[in-house]
Amino acid sequence: MDKHAATRRRDQEDLGRFGYAQELFRNMGGFSNFAISFSIISILTGAVTLYGYGLEMGGPLEMTLGWPIATVFTLTVAASMAELCSAYPTSGAMYHWAADLGGPVWGWFVAWLNIFGLIAAVAGINYSCAQFILPFLGWPSTSGNLFAMLAFILITQAVLNHYGVRLVAWLNDGSVAVHIAGVLVVVGTVFWFAPLKPVAFLAEGINSSGHSPYVWAFLLGLLQAQWTYTGFDASAHMAEETEDPRRRAPWGIVLSVAVSGVVGYILLLALTLAVPSIPQVLNAKDSSGNPISAAIAILQSALGARAGNGVAALASMAMWFCGLSAITSASRTLYALARDHGTPGSNWLRGVNPRHGTPGPAIWSVTLAAMAAMAWSGVIPVVTSLSTVALYVAYLIPIILGLRSNQWRSNAVWNLGKYSRAVNYAAIGYTVMVCFVLMMPPNDLAGRTLIGIVLLLAGIYRIEARGKYKGPHWAVKDQRDDSGGSSR
């Protein structure tokens, strides 16, 4: 038996302790696990798509100070989640963590918040991709064209996801190169060809923002960075398809945030120094009079329309990879909950294609739901705010539950040692603040929608799930004491 076969056999036995058979193909290495989270974070998607929103709210200072603040505190969230991932190396991720530490009810609600957040993320990512592709093709950015392109993008991503985790892993590995190369191209061309603002421009805040009070506008502008830093839980969702997941999946979570923080900051500095004027880029329109992204306006102003659209096309390629990975992550979450009979039509949703080893019904359900989510909101800041808050609530609940018990920590091969609880508290404080801010106007529709989702879930659980859903396999077998946290 070779080394890889022995590792897979050990991982399969480890998964068996949680009561699950190895149904998904386990052939991801550490780099591929990192790549899927890095691709979903996608600095060329989040940092660029909402560039105009952040610039409008907080001015250039938002780009130079907001990003590092979000990076440091997001790393506390990522590190806290990495410990839990090491203790629970299953596709359920936050769902399983919350179920074991707080009970099946907590797990069920976390799973659905995670699913809704990821679906909203898929919608926002691919709508942004459509916005960048249309100018390159020379098509007007009408609502009909945007939605048609969104649907086409989603279908291509779903088809590729359906045909195998190995194919998606190869594409995600290539996505890392596309993202790094894309940033180098954008930064290099901007610094080489564009007339640049003086460095002092980066420190301008209230004078260029026009919003009052400025501190509140600056906090609202954190959405630009914080939406970028979503989806790094994908490394945990792919644990059942990763070799040695107790070590490799946690590193995938943390490194994806850390690398994105450094590379994304360089990108933002380049774009901000190339801003011709803030009103010009915020009010930019294409030749047909339709609004275009502020980032596209900066690139066109700095490099000319043709070169600017060419660089935007490279960014759209990175966004496509981002959407591809987001569907992968969302489908695994839905599959994991359906496997435990926690969804309507669970016998169908838990289906795995025997030839390709992928959860086909879950993949296509996520794809169709993402189309519906974009049709419902129709506005990028709203859908991205909804995605960010729903995902961070799903990240937050298991971290809080984990503080009630130390039993699970003995199973975390990857851990923070004596700094663990301090990092956990920092992650909780920052996440609560961000979730509150991002549900305030102008993104209050996201807050109302999230409240509606929670009430809907409560109703579904009371009427439908409470009598049928018993939790993950181990929850059916184990009796929990009040403190929570069974040992595995």
Q: Tell me the CATH number at 324.
A: 1.20.1740.10
CA 422 to chain centre: 25
Are the CB atoms for 98 and 399 separated by under 8 Å?
no
What tokens does 67 get?
């990003």
Domain containing 163: what range?
39-469
Whether 238 is in a domain gets the answer: yes
Whether 484 is in a domain gets the answer: no
What is the reported pLDDT for 486? 47
For the beta carbon of residue 8, count every other beta carbon within 10 angstroms.
18
- What is d(CA 472, CA 95) in angstroms, rounded to the nearest whole number? 9
What tokens does 479 get?
């009796």
- Whether cis (ω within 30° of 0) applies to the bond prior to 442 is yes
Query: For the CA atoms of 242, 243, 245, 251, what is the dihedral angle to 10 degrees?
Result: -80
pTM as predicted: 0.84
- What is d(CA 289, CA 123) in angstroms, rounded to the nearest whole number? 25
Residues of the chain with pLDDT under 70: 1-28, 164-165, 206-212, 286-291, 376-382, 473-488
Whether 18 is in a domain gets the answer: no
String of b and e for 21-34 (b: at least 16 CB within 10 Å)? Answer: ebbbbbbbebebbb
Whether 387 is in a domain gets the answer: yes
Q: SS3 for 291? A: strand
What is the reported pLDDT for 163? 82
In terms of Cα–Cα distance, which of 241, 222, 231, 270 is closest to 72?
Answer: 222
> Largest alpha-carbon pair distance within the chain?
67
Dump the DSSP string for 49-89. HTHHHHHHHHHHHIIIIIHHHHHHHHHHHHHHHHHHHHH--
- Sign of torsion over alpha carbons 461, 438, 385, 234: negative
Whether 479 is in a domain gets the answer: no
What is the reported pLDDT for 484? 45
What is the reported pLDDT for 256? 95
Whether 486 is in a domain gets the answer: no
What tokens does 451 get?
């409240």
For the beta carbon of residue 387, count every other beta carbon within 10 angstroms.
27
Q: How many domains does the chain have?
A: 1
- What is d(CA 370, CA 310) in angstroms, rounded to the nearest whole number? 27
What is the reported pLDDT for 485? 45
What is the reported pLDDT for 290? 64
What is the reported pLDDT for 72? 96
What is the reported pLDDT for 85? 93
Whether 205 is in a domain gets the answer: yes
Residue 231's alpha-carbon distances to 10, 39, 459, in angstroms, are: 28, 9, 27
Whether 158 is in a domain gets the answer: yes
